[in-house]
Amino acid sequence: MSELPDGVERRQFDGESRLATRGEPVYGEPADGEWRAWDARRSKLGAMLETGMETGLVGGGTVLYLGAAAGTTVSHVADFAGPTYAVEFAPRPTRDLLDAAEPRDRLFPLLKDARKPETYAHVVEPVDVIVQDVATRGQAKVANANAQFLDGEGRLLAAIKARSEDVVADPSEVFERELATLRDSYEVLETRRLEPFHDSHLGVVARPR
């Protein structure tokens, strides 16, 4: 099992050992007033940690998070990371994301399209980590378009959802295609299927070329 980043621990909730971060609850997860459970069934990054992927995450790093939705995962990230830029293009979940950001002074929601990094390049500084969970067609292209934000030693932690690319194709073939595109901008270090937490999703750890 790989190491957890500083600020992420295993804690007991309802008699079960769960990943947890320190912060205000966001999505009804069990909490004890200080720590809150990080539900890997609702978070691909949580599943990457649960399955033991070498994410290279350390506490305090700067993060660009693509596909933040209502803030389920990015709120956990902002609990242990440094400045965390959360890109989401749908206005409705962004309203909940703003609520999650309220008690988190390191979480910066951006109502932007991750396919157009030029629209937030003036705000986002070079980051240590890109976390991507956009679940939309062209997932590798989105990652490639944002590689410019990673510093040389940085990591891309991406979840690729097979059905967002092709609902009928064999997920393994879809993953191979997406990884081939990803290699235009990244060296892929590790991949792992995220079952049983998320069906037909591939976790990817990569670094910029």
The pair of structure tokens assigned to 10 is 């295993």
Identity of the residue, 12 or 121, whose beta carbon is nearer to ligand SAM in the bound complex: 121
Looking at the chain, which runs of residues are DSSP E strands?
Answer: 8-13, 16-22, 35-37, 63-66, 84-88, 107-111, 127-132, 150-161, 186-193, 201-208
Task: Return the SS3 of 106.
Answer: coil
Per-residue interface string for the shown chain with ligand SAM, residues 59-88, x marking contact by CB under 6 A? --------xxx--xx-------------xx
CA–CA distance, 208 with 148 (Å, rounded to integer): 9
The answer to the question of residue 136 lying near ligand SAM (CB under 6 A) is yes
Residues 83/59, Cβ–Cβ less than 8 Å? no
Nearest to 37 by CA among 87, 94, 83, 75: 75
Place of tokens 């937030």: 120
Identity of the residue, 150 or 159, whose beta carbon is nearer to ligand SAM in the bound complex: 159
Identity of the residue, 153 or 155, whose beta carbon is nearer to ligand SAM in the bound complex: 155
Per-residue interface string for the shown chain with ligand SAM, residues 94-133, x marking contact by CB under 6 A? -------------------xxx-----------------x
72 marked ligand binding residue: yes
Instruction: Give the residue numbers of the binding site for S-adenosyl-L-methionine.
Output: 72-73, 88-89, 113-114, 133-136
Contact footprint for ligand SAM (CB under 6 A): 43, 67-69, 72-73, 87-90, 93, 113-115, 133-136
